Structures are given as C-alpha cells and as structure tokens.
Structure 1
Amino acid sequence: MPGFRSGRIMTRMYAGVSLAVLAMLSVGASAQDSDPRNATSLNLYGSPGLVDMPTAEVLPDATIAGTFGRLGDTGRTTIYFQITPRMSGSFRYTSLPSSQDGRDDFFDRSFDLRYQLLTEGRYRPSVVLGFSDVIGTGVYSGEYLVATKTVARGLKITGGLGWGRFGGRDPIGSFGTRPDETLELGGIPTYDRWFRGDIAPFGGISYAPNERLRLKLEYSSDLYTREVERGWAEKPSRALNYGLDYMFSDGDGQFSLYHVLGEEVGAQLTFLFNPRTSGIPGGMGPAGVPVAPRAPGAEADLGWTSNATKPAQAKAALFSLLKTEGMTLEGMTLESRRAVVRIANGKFQNEAQAIGRVARAMTRSLPASVETFEIIPVVDGMPTSAIVLSRSDLERLEHEPAADLLPRTQVLDAKGRTPAVDPGIYPRFSWSLGPAVNFSLFDPDSPLRANLDLRASATYRITPSLELAGSVTQKLTGDLDKIERTDESGLPRVRTDTALYAAEGDQTIEYLQLAHYGRPARDLYSRLSIGYLESMYGGASAELLWKPVDSRLAFGAELNYIQKRDYDQLFGFQEMTTTDPISGITREIPEVNGHLSAYYAFDNGFHGQLDVGRYLAGDYGATVSMDREFANGWRVGAYATVTDASAEDFGEGSFDKGIRFTIPIGSLIGIPSRKENDLTIQSLTRDGGARLNVRGRLYEKVRDYHQPDVANTWGTFWR
C-alpha cells in the first residue's frame, strides 16, 4: 500500500497539535442547543452519532467540530463543518496499527457528507442521508438513511438502514454486489459503491439525566470486516456498543468513553466552535466619536469659503481624528456642499465599521455647509469604491439600527473621483520580526512535519501603487528536510521537491518582489509583480480583474512567466527541469502558466471561484472553490482541482483537494485588526494542479469595499 507507512509517534504528535489548535478556537463561542440535555453529541467518527453509528441530529449552522478519538490502537482525528443548516461535511484522518502479518501502520484520509432530508417536528423525526468515505480509499465507505426522535427531555431514539460499513451485520436484503477493494491511490469518488451490497439495520438510544452526562447504547451493524481481514482488529463478539459523554460546562465540547466490539475500550475529546457567533462584532475597543449635529440653520452659512485657511484647518482636524482611529487621510477635496476623502484603513477588519468611523469624524471636522460625504477607501493605491452618505441622514439616524441607513447610502465606482495624494504621505516604510511555522501534512512516513523559523519582513511603499516587499527567514529547528516521496511522479516535481529546498535553505529569501497596482479603466483593476515571487519560483506575474462595485460577479485573468529558484532560496536560479528520484526521468517545467477566473458572491456569505488554465507542471484543468465567510472575518472553505494529468501521473490522492480556514486575529483578541492567518489542509501535496503562490492577487483586495461585502458588514457601521 504505497504512501501509508509507519510513524505512530508522529500521529500522536499531529493529534496533539490538532487538539491544541481546536482548544484555542473553542474559547468563547457556544455551538450547542439552548437546552444542554438535548444537545447533539459526536461519535467516534467525528459526526453526530452514538458510538460508531450515526444519528439524524445536526449541529447549529456554521459549527466547526474537532474530535480526536482512540479505539484500541486505532486513532481517528476529524474536522467537521456544518456547511448549511442541513448539510455538513467532515475530513477524517485515521491511523490503523501494524498488522500481525508484518504490514506497516496504515494512514487513511477520507471525506464524509451528510444532508438532513427532514427536520424534527412534533411527531416527525429528523431524517438524514449520509455518505461515509465519499472520497477516499474505500476503507470506511458506507451510506445510511437514519432517523432520530426526541421523545422526552434528554431522551432520543435512533434507527436506520446502512450499506457498506453500515451493512455488515444481519443484513435484511441486498442491492447487488458492492466492490470492496481498497483503492490504492485513493481520492476518487466511490460512486460505483453507493447504495450497493447488503443493507442492514442499526439503531440506539441516548439519555442525558442531567446537563453534564449522556449515556448511549447502540446496536451496531459494522462488523469491522476490513480491520479483521488485515489483522487490525479482532472480530466483534457483540453487536451492542456503549458510550458515556461528559459535557464541558461551557457547552463547547465533551469527553467520551466507549466500549466497542465487545472488548475494545475507546475515548474521545470533542471541541466545538462557531465562527458565526465568535467574538464581538467590531471588537471590544472604545467606540468611535459620536456624530456632531449642526445647529439649526448652520448648513446655510457659506462664509468659510472665503477664508483661505479654513480648508487646511478642516483637513488637519480630520487627519488628526482619523490617525487616532488607526486610519490615514491621504487626500481630500473640499467644496461648499461636498467633501471627498481618500482613506487608507490599516485597522478595521469590518469595512463598514471603518466607513462609520470616518463619517462621524467628518461631522466633527468639516464646515456645517458640507452636506454630502464621499468616502473613498484606497487599497495598495487602488481606489476601490466611493461610499456616498448624507450628513443629514447621519444626524437623524445615529441612534437607529444601521440597516436604516444602508438604503440611503450609495456605493459607486471611484475611478475619476479620487483626490490626489497629499505630499509627505509617501514613500513609507514598515517592517516586522517574529516566529513563523511552515508545515507539511500527511507525509507517508510522518503525518506532520514542520519548521520553526525566525522571519523578518519589510515593505517599502514607494508610491501609493508601487511597493517593494520581501521576507527573509532563519531556520531555528524542524524536519521538513526529512520529507520523502517513495512513489514515482508522472509530472515535473514542481511541489514535491520541498525536502530539497528545506535541506539547503537554512537562511532564505522567502520572497522579494516589486509590485504595481492600478485602475486602468472603470470596473478594472491591475497588478504586475516582478522578482522572487515565492520560495520556489521567481519571474513576473500580471493580473487583470473586472469587478463592478455593485456586482456579485467578477472575472479575472492572470499570466505568469517563471524561473525555478536555487534550492538555497537566495538569489540564484536553476534549470527548468526536474529528475524523478524513483524513475530517473528528467522532465521540463514550462515557463508560462496562468488562469482565467470567475468569482461570484452567493447569499449567506458563500463565495464561489472557478479557475481554468495551465498549472505549474504544465497540466491543464480547473479548480473549483467554495468558501463561507462570516461578518467577523472568519472563512471556512474547500477546493478541488482536476486536470488532464491522470490519477496515475498525479499519484496518491488522484487529484488535488483540500479545506482551508481564514482566522481573523481581531476576533480572537477582541481588538480591531486587519491581520489574519490562512490555514490550508491539503489531503496530500502533489505536483498536479499546483499554482504559483504569488502575493497580492486582486479579488480579495478589491471586493472588501464593494457593495455586496459592505452590506454584509453594515451592522458594525455605528460600532
């Protein structure tokens, strides 16, 4: 079984890191039912369930759950996400022990999907249709239809029918022959098995006598056939499994004990977190200055227009107020009835909160006759939009819900409306120094490898739209250089040479690039980046984005010319070839790659993206991404890339896929901040479907201040 070997110690280390991260995320957000005795608990597979068997319960919308369980020598770590109120998905990583016939430890990755067909009513049970190991090796492949009903406070009964893993014991019928071989490469949808083979019943009961304890009893239809055949487990001697949950006092997790298979003892920790309700919108810092209402009739006074010092005084007052708020007034046009300000927001994650602070500061610093406020946020020198507000509306609606002001606010294209930059604002220099962690997951010999580095970063903004930026690192400790790929790649090794870069790069230049951003025309944005673009490649990258300010739809195009960097990641380049260490075959890396992209903002915070083009290894294909974003800046998403590279050429995993998280720092510390951390968990890093990791792509920079996103965060306008 290529790619699944040894490393039980690293499995435990990976699990420990996962638990530490999930424990930190679980602080301060309740994800459970309002009645703790009726709350949903998770089973040993990290999904709503009893012990091994699923239930038809669902967690609150947007809940993230993390579980780490042990059953004998088997470990299961699962990340679960309630994608919508009815649909959920989970990624599970399992370590199975070495077998008696000499087989090494087996590491398995699998994805599950569940959909609630019926919600629970007074007489109607909740009904869920589920798919286990829908993309994987098939070890945990199974489907089920299950119903759950709450019959009394804390008392629930469950019954269901299952196929595959859930159809092993005492089948009551069959839907044909089900393929049962383990997929060597994995990662392929197992649709040829769905609802095929024997069908068997399962069921159980759970009872919570109080808010802390829950007792579980289930009749299991899983015979652990694969584990028994491979010597990973003994044949179950009983059909009944038992469980005990202890709920944490804050409702954000549980500790569980299990008795399974008639002889095995298991335990599990569960952490729950809901990014939808995490933190305080806008942070816990001080509120902005209040609106300064004008005296009756003051708006008619235009005497200030004949005083040459008044505009400068008003600008100075506004500059000072915004500096206190952590923003920069870069320019202003002041007319008798209208003021246009150019703003750089370096503090507030919620864009509407920044706009609200600017608007209120304008009421306190500008002459009373100025009725129309036009606020233009600028990102990397690009005017992103013009938000137009009426001063009278601000005065009249300050103590009303922010939703009352939104229909009276205009969001326009800022092209041709933006004031010039004041002298002395640029050039500007900034720098930072701190630790950095680079990691690799699911290496065949070790599930987690990582380097701890010291990173120094600097940015020299020469003009508003032209910046020179770079980052250097010093390795402190780590084992990324120990990564091994024991299977042959049918593609140029554009990403699987990580160990070579890690081995020679103790002191590295992570990136060093000159980037220019622009607004070539209405609805258009541009980027040109030149230099050492990422750790493995340098060259030039050009991008053009079409994105109207009031549109949910955007289109982009990116073209890259690259050269492969030396393994020491300093200033040199090397030949655009790679040699496979297994086959000895030398392959050429193409110098040109790029994509056409489409973006769409759906309702309820969902953002979709489709990229079609040529990838680093020369393969052609498409990447589909879907992310769910919350008003506090959290994002949870998944992606999949399919190219013309065959599953055999791609290798283990068959195609590139993964899940990703964006964690806004402000939501964790309670202080407004635009800093955020991105975490991507790939099922396995391979060469197929790999893209250039160029910084500064336009869509995420531009859309923040466009109408759809501003409207989503408008509730923080008065914060």
Structure 2
Amino acid sequence: MLDFFRSGKVLKRSSVSGIALVLALASPAMPEGRVSYNLYGSPGLVDMPTANESPDATLTTTISKVGDAQRTTIGFQITPRLSGAFRYSGLSNYTSPASVKGVYYDRSFDLRYNLLTETASRPAVTIGLQDFIGTGLYGGEYVVATKSFAKGITVTGGVGWGRLGSHGAIGKTGTRTAELLGQGGIPTYDRWFRGDFAPFGGVSWAVNDRMTVKAEYSSDNYTTERKDAQFNGTSPWNFGLDYTFKSGTQLSLYHAYGNQFGAQVTFATDLRSAKIPGGLEKAPVPVLVRPVGAAKDLGWTQEAGKRDATFQALKAGLANEGLVLEGLDLKAQRAVVRIRNPRYGNEAEAIGRTARAMTRAMPASVETFVIVPTVNGSAMSGVELQRTDIERLEHVEAKAILQKTVVRDAFKLAPPVEKGIYPKFTWSLAPYTKLSVFDPNSPVRADFGARLKADFWVAPNLRLSGSITKKVGGNLDKSNRNDKSNLPRVRTDYAKYSIQGDPAIERLTMSAYGRPGPNLYSRFTVGYLEEMYGGVSTELLWKRVNSPLALGVELNYVKQRDFDQMFGFRNYETFTGHASAYYAFGNGFHGQVDVGQYLAGDVGATLSLDREFANGWRVGAYATFTDASFEDFGEGSFDKGIRIAIPMQWVLGTASRQRNTVQIQSLTRDGGARLSVNDRLYEQVRDYHQPELDKQWGKFWR
C-alpha cells in the first residue's frame, strides 16, 4: 500500500505512472548533456538500444505507447557505467489466458553496463540484459556500439538475442526456450545470449539543441504479439522525432514497423543537483567575531544568573533558526549544548547554524563549542568546534572547518534537559492516499481520506503516539484475489482491512529510546504497531560515530489485529526478528543485510542497496529470499522492489526534514513480509555520524 501523505515514512505501494507525475511537479534539475530514450525507457533510438549512457545519477520516468503496447519505465544511472530499469507494461487485445479482459500486464527489470566509453578513435560499447527478471515477454540481450560524428550525426550498430534476435537472424548460440514464465520474478540466466542472434542499427541526427530525428532497423519481430495479439507490422524500419524541453523532458513521436504509430514522454532528473540551491529559508545570522583580548575576560563567571541568561539568549537565537535548545552545560572555556533539529534535512546545516548562534550568545572566554544533536531524546553525536576556527573560516569553503571539527560519541555527553520543555503535545490533520498496484484485475486501486495524528512526549525519550484514519472513498476493498499459498495470510488480507477498517486506529503505541552504553542505541515500542499487527518491538544498534559499519538486532512478538482495526486481535501470533548489518560504501551508496524470521514464519535474508545524495534524494533496490518456495510465494516468486525517496524540500522550496519514499514492488505477498514499525534506529543515528556529516558538510555555512 502507498501512503504518500505520510511524511518521512516508507510508502508501501505506488502507481508507476504516478512517479512520473511527482517528478514533473518537482521539476528537478536537467541532467548534463542530452540522451534520447527509446520505447523501453532506455537510451536508444525507437525500439532498439544505443550504447549511450545517461549522466551519472540520472533518474528517468518514461511513459510510451506504440500500437497496442503501453509501457511505463523507471530507469536510474546507478554509476557512470551501470544502469537499471523497472518496467510495467500493458498489452491490449491479447488473447492469451493470462490476459485480463483482453489486456496482458507484465513487469520486467533491465540492467546494462557500458564496457567502453566513446573516444575520438572508438565508439562507446554497452552490453545489456532486457527483462532479465520477469516473465521473459520482453527478454533479450544485446551488445551495441555507438559513435558520434560531425554535424550531430550518431551511428549505432549491435547484435541482439531473444526478442532482439527474432528478425533477420544471422547465427545461433545454443538453444533458447520461448516459453513465458507464468509467475515471473526469476532471473532468466539460462537464456542469456542463447538462441538466434540478429543485427540491428540506426542513425540519429541532432537538428539543433532541442530536436533529433532518428531511423533504425529493428531486429525484433514481435513474435509473441503476432501470435497472441493483433500486431501485424510489415517492416523492420522505424522512424522517430524527439523534442527536448529546457527542463529536460523529452517528447517523442514514432512511426514503427510499417503501420504502427507511437508517442512517449520522458522525465529526466539529475538527482545530484538541487532545484533551488540552499532552499528558500532565510540566511543564517553572521558569525560575531570577538574583540581582540576579549577571550581572556573571565569576570562573567562570577555573575549570578549568567548561565540562565546565556541559555535564554541562545534559545531565542536557535528558535529564530527553527532549532530547539534543550540543554546547556556552560564552563569558563567550554560550552556543551543539547539541540533538537525539526527543520533541516541537511544535518550539517543545523550544526552550522547552531555554531553561528553560539558565537553571538556565549561569553567571549568560551572557546570550545560542543553541539549534541538529539533524536527522540537520544544523543546522536558530539560535534566539537573551536570558536577561533569559526571566526576565522566563516568565508572559506566548508571543508576547511570540517578539517578542524571533531565528531565523537555522545554517550553521557549531552547536558540535562531544561525544565519546562517536556511534556510536549503535537497533533496534525492531513489527507492520505493508499494505492495498490500490479493486480492484473485492476492495475491501480486506491483509498483516500483523512488522518488525525497526535504525539505526546512524556519525556524527551518517551512518547505516546497514535493515528486514526477515516476513509472518504476508494476501491481497495474491491480486490477479490484468492491466491493459493501454504503460507499464513500475513499480508494478503489487506482488502479485508480496507473493508472493515473505517474508521481505523492505524497506530497506537508507546515508544522509549535510549543510550544503554558507548556506541549503543536502543528502542522499545509496544502497542498497535501498524494497521495489521500489535505487540512488542525491541531494537538495539551498535555504531561508532566515525565508522561506516553498523550492526543491529530487532526482536518482535506480534499478534494479527482484527480487520476492523480497533482494539481486538485475531488468533495468529508470531515471533519475528532480524540481525542486521549496515555499511556506507562511499559515493552515497549504503548497503544493508537483514537475516532472520519473517511474519509468515519463513526464514531468510533481505539484501538492500541504496544510493543517497546530499540533497535528500535516494534511489535503491532490495530483494528478499526465504525458505518459502517460489510456488508458495506466488506470482513474482520472491519479494523484491525499488524505492525512491523524494525530499519534501524539493516540493516546498524551503528546508524540511520530511521526505516520502515511494516503494514499487510486486503484488502484496505473504513471503518475506516484515513488520512496519516506526523509527527504526539506523536511519536516525547515521545522519549525525560520519561519513554522512562529511557528505553534507558543504551546507555548514548556509
């Protein structure tokens, strides 16, 4: 299920086409250079690929239609040479028993790798796997070369297998079955680069910096569509026209296969570049430089009430920056402050603004500033700076002050919370939308309504939290799938929750957070943990502030909630939990391995890899393999998906810690299902540790 209006939380489902709308509304930065995308959403001509690669970190969303085929593809340039894509297709007028009301729906994944980059003397060369995890409908492999010449002319030639070797074959490498995989989701490695192979190629001409015309010879015979649909193409020649707008959006028109017409739109996004650098937040206060010799004046240490006056002055200064001062330990030459950052998604910006404010509030003799950011009442790290360095380096690049900064473990470092700040109550009323996609009977289903949410902080690290939803409309309750499985129905009864849960107590929990020891962080949550389960969830995380490695363990005992999502429970209960390892590889890449028992009692592991950018954008993928067989799991064979985190500062145009994560995965299944509990520790802890602070430090002076 997708819940787009829940800020900062993982969204369980989304319409693939909806992502295109989000990207278009966000209007992110245009990528460097210009690449044409084909009907499969990959760098290409019309149907055929080219060896060109998108600029590093480019996210693309392509919606295309040619004849009876409609395809929506999300692609990402994972590294400068490696790219991947997910595609959801609908084929109309399809006579196969697998079709629904004459439409066959298909999901597929692609990978491609640039073997050689183009130089003056050689072409670019790329090898690709098309639909390497799926039913095999679009399965094909290729090796392609592309070379640019003068006057905007680019020539492409390649050899393809599978679909791309079905017309004009010139040879054969082994045998290849053409059978479609009924459940899909299994890597088709036994077919790669096997069977007939055929040449393809084409040419494109950049008429100007906006328009490109292209022609290609296709090696795809559309064999399946000729047999099971109404495709009757008469020619292997395809022709296209691209127009690229200033925003980077590409609009394309095609005449294909002699009698087919098509069109597509592609949104291209450079995730490394912020739409509005620095956001629209007001400028920070300037650093107040001390007069010469003022640092030697210690007379203030004898003044009664000086500490309280300093606290109030700094509290007001930080409130003006959208930050909360919760504690202060003031000595003659050292000050330790405890802060909470509800505003800035870039944590280094919060640290920098706190340091600036401290230069204006602290007595002149205080030379060492220690800033302790807290999340859910737990101290994340201690960031130590020297006041002299802050004064001297304000107008120098941020990396200069980074070299002078020390980040240490904050265990027992944070000063006590000032009286009067807690208890604290907050609430909100907002719309919500829940989507479910990829059900062949109805590819997109949705519920929408209102959510009332409240939090009562009894103490800095003790919170009572709850949310209630009231559905206004939707059709999630219309799902009538009755998939056969030997697994307990731990997730596939979601339609019954939609039918009976109106209104619904979505969550009702008590959570406690702590620092049980050096480099250790803890969470304890009890109550109605999510819309389907209630119980107890505990977590312990180990992480050094300067290490890319973190280790954690989570244990849960839960019972399945009644379908009306009130206070009752059903008779299914289980222990579930995982041991986890997290690692920051550099260049924004974060890996995670979770090993343990899932909600249905199946045992296995989840592998995740995400690439995150300093501006808050994140793109990742995951796959879960358990001892549940592919047959027990059902369509899709095993749990896997793609997730895209969209920082709300792109939408709001100002600083915000909120972001929404759109998660695209196969149909909801019972295998590999995890508990959806709020505030898992790793995400909140690593943000204030190295190397994350180092990556974001460029905004220290913002």
TM-score with structure 2 setting the length: 0.96
Ranges in structure 2 where 5+ consecutive residues have no aligned partner: 1-13
**Per-residue CA distance 1:75-106 (angstroms, 9 max, x = gap):** 11111111111111000001011335785311
Q: What residue number does 1:131 align with?
A: 129
Q: Which amino acid aligns with 1:448?
A: V
Deviation at 1:18, TM superposition (A): 4.5
Tell me, what secondary structure is at the counterpart of 2:403? helix
| C-alpha distance in structure 1 between counterparts of 2:563 and 2:96, whole Å | 41
Q: What residue number does 2:69 align with?
A: 74
| C-alpha distance in structure 2 between counterparts of 1:29 and 1:506, whole Å | 41
Q: What residue number does 2:243 align with?
A: 246
Tell me, what secondary structure is at the counterpart of 2:687? helix
Matches within 5 A, 1:216-235: 216-234=214-232
Correspondence for 1:396 among 380, 392, 395? 392
Deviation at 1:281, TM superposition (A): 4.3
| C-alpha distance in structure 2 between counterparts of 1:18 and 1:705, whole Å | 30
Deviation at 1:441, TM superposition (A): 1.0
Deviation at 1:252, TM superposition (A): 1.3
Deviation at 1:210, TM superposition (A): 1.4
Q: What residue number does 1:582 align with?
A: none
- 1:297 paired to 2:293: yes
| C-alpha distance in structure 2 between counterparts of 1:19 and 1:287, whole Å | 33
Q: What residue number does 2:10 align with?
A: none
- 1:639 paired to 2:640: no
Q: What residue number does 1:203 align with?
A: 201
Deviation at 1:15, TM superposition (A): 7.0
**Per-residue CA distance 1:502-545 (angstroms, 9 max, x = gap):** 01011001101000000000000000000000000000000000
| C-alpha distance in structure 2 between counterparts of 1:328 and 1:364, whole Å | 16
Correspondence for 1:688 among 671, 675, 692? 671
Q: Which moved more, 1:470-479 or 1:304-313?
A: 304-313
- 1:716 paired to 2:699: yes
Matches within 5 A, 1:338-349: 338-349=334-345
Q: Which moved more, 1:480-489 or 1:678-687?
A: 480-489
| C-alpha distance in structure 2 between counterparts of 1:344 and 1:526, whole Å | 18
Tell me, what secondary structure is at the counterpart of 1:128? strand
| C-alpha distance in structure 2 between counterparts of 1:508 and 1:499, whole Å | 14
Matches within 5 A, 1:299-338: 299-338=295-334
Q: Which amino acid aligns with 1:616?
A: L
| C-alpha distance in structure 2 between counterparts of 1:515 and 1:505, whole Å | 24
Q: Which amino acid aligns with 2:135?
A: T
Q: Which amino acid aligns with 2:162?
A: G
**Per-residue CA distance 1:384-426 (angstroms, 9 max, x = gap):** 0000000000011011000011111000000121100110010
Tell me, what secondary structure is at the counterpart of 1:341? strand
**Per-residue CA distance 1:51-82 (angstroms, 9 max, x = gap):** 00000011111111111111112111111111
Deviation at 1:591, TM superposition (A): 1.4
Q: Which amino acid aligns with 1:31?
A: P
Q: What residue number does 1:649 align with?
A: 632
Q: What residue number does 2:43 align with?
A: 48
Q: Which amino acid aligns with 1:134?
A: F
| C-alpha distance in structure 2 between counterparts of 1:635 and 1:471, whole Å | 27
Deviation at 1:20, TM superposition (A): 2.3
Q: Which amino acid aligns with 2:511?
A: A
Matches within 5 A, 1:492-641: 492-576=488-572, 590-641=573-624
Deviation at 1:486, TM superposition (A): 4.1
Counterpart contact for 2:594–2:605, Cα < 8 Å: yes
Q: Which amino acid aligns with 2:82?
A: M
Q: What residue number does 1:669 align with?
A: 652
Q: Which amino acid aligns with 1:706?
A: H
Residues 662 and 15 of structure 1: is their aligned pair in 2 closer, same or farther, counting only changes over 3 Å? Answer: closer
| C-alpha distance in structure 1 between counterparts of 2:523 and 2:299, whole Å | 45
Counterpart contact for 2:16–2:664, Cα < 8 Å: no
Ranges in structure 1 where 5+ consecutive residues have no aligned partner: 1-12, 34-38, 577-589
Counterpart contact for 2:17–2:72, Cα < 8 Å: no
Counterpart contact for 1:282–1:353, Cα < 8 Å: no
Deviation at 1:669, TM superposition (A): 2.0
Residues 662 and 340 of structure 1: is their aligned pair in 2 closer, same or farther, counting only changes over 3 Å? Answer: same
Q: Which amino acid aligns with 2:45?
A: L
For the aligned residues, what is the CA RMSD?
1.3
Tell me, what secondary structure is at the counterpart of 1:602? strand
| C-alpha distance in structure 2 between counterparts of 1:663 and 1:45, whole Å | 24
- 1:118 paired to 2:101: no
**Per-residue CA distance 1:619-678 (angstroms, 9 max, x = gap):** 000000011110011111110000000000000000000001111111322211111112
Q: Which amino acid aligns with 2:239?
A: Y
| C-alpha distance in structure 1 between counterparts of 2:390 and 2:352, whole Å | 9
Deviation at 1:228, TM superposition (A): 1.1
Q: Which amino acid aligns with 1:658?
A: G
| C-alpha distance in structure 2 between counterparts of 1:410 and 1:491, whole Å | 51
| C-alpha distance in structure 1 between counterparts of 2:638 and 2:494, whole Å | 19
Residues 573 and 14 of structure 1: is their aligned pair in 2 closer, same or farther, counting only changes over 3 Å? Answer: closer
Counterpart contact for 2:152–2:206, Cα < 8 Å: yes
Correspondence for 2:190 among 189, 192, 210? 192
Tell me, what secondary structure is at the counterpart of 1:436? strand
Q: Which amino acid aligns with 1:23?
A: A
Deviation at 1:684, TM superposition (A): 2.1
TM-score with structure 1 setting the length: 0.94
Q: What residue number does 2:24 align with?
A: 23
| C-alpha distance in structure 2 between counterparts of 1:426 and 1:418, whole Å | 16
Q: Which amino acid aligns with 2:531?
A: S
Q: What residue number does 2:176 align with?
A: 178
Percent of aligned positions that are identical: 57
Deviation at 1:16, TM superposition (A): 5.8
Deviation at 1:484, TM superposition (A): 2.5
Q: Which amino acid aligns with 1:74?
A: A
| C-alpha distance in structure 2 between counterparts of 1:656 and 1:251, whole Å | 35
Counterpart contact for 2:127–2:144, Cα < 8 Å: yes
| C-alpha distance in structure 2 between counterparts of 1:668 and 1:99, whole Å | 40
Counterpart contact for 1:634–1:663, Cα < 8 Å: yes
| C-alpha distance in structure 2 between counterparts of 1:101 and 1:663, whole Å | 38
Counterpart contact for 2:28–2:270, Cα < 8 Å: no
Deviation at 1:28, TM superposition (A): 4.1
Deviation at 1:231, TM superposition (A): 2.6
Residues 233 and 402 of structure 1: is their aligned pair in 2 closer, same or farther, counting only changes over 3 Å? Answer: same
Tell me, what secondary structure is at the counterpart of 2:571? coil
Q: Which amino acid aligns with 1:59?
A: S
Q: Which moved more, 1:482-491 or 1:153-162?
A: 482-491
Tell me, what secondary structure is at the counterpart of 1:705? coil
**Per-residue CA distance 1:335-364 (angstroms, 9 max, x = gap):** 001000000111111000000000010000
Q: What residue number does 1:163 align with?
A: 161
| C-alpha distance in structure 2 between counterparts of 1:293 and 1:99, whole Å | 74
How many aligned positions are there? 686
Residues 666 and 251 of structure 1: is their aligned pair in 2 closer, same or farther, counting only changes over 3 Å? Answer: closer
Residues 154 and 683 of structure 1: is their aligned pair in 2 closer, same or farther, counting only changes over 3 Å? Answer: farther
| C-alpha distance in structure 2 between counterparts of 1:560 and 1:695, whole Å | 13
Runs ≥4 residues deviating over 6 A: none
| C-alpha distance in structure 1 between counterparts of 2:344 and 2:95, whole Å | 58
Q: What residue number does 1:581 align with?
A: none
Q: What residue number does 2:282 align with?
A: 286
Q: Which amino acid aligns with 1:539?
A: G
| C-alpha distance in structure 2 between counterparts of 1:650 and 1:374, whole Å | 52
Q: Which amino acid aligns with 1:256?
A: S
Q: What residue number does 2:81 align with?
A: 86
Matches within 5 A, 1:407-486: 407-486=403-482
**Per-residue CA distance 1:247-298 (angstroms, 9 max, x = gap):** 21x1411111111111111111111112211323431221111110011111
Counterpart contact for 2:71–2:89, Cα < 8 Å: yes
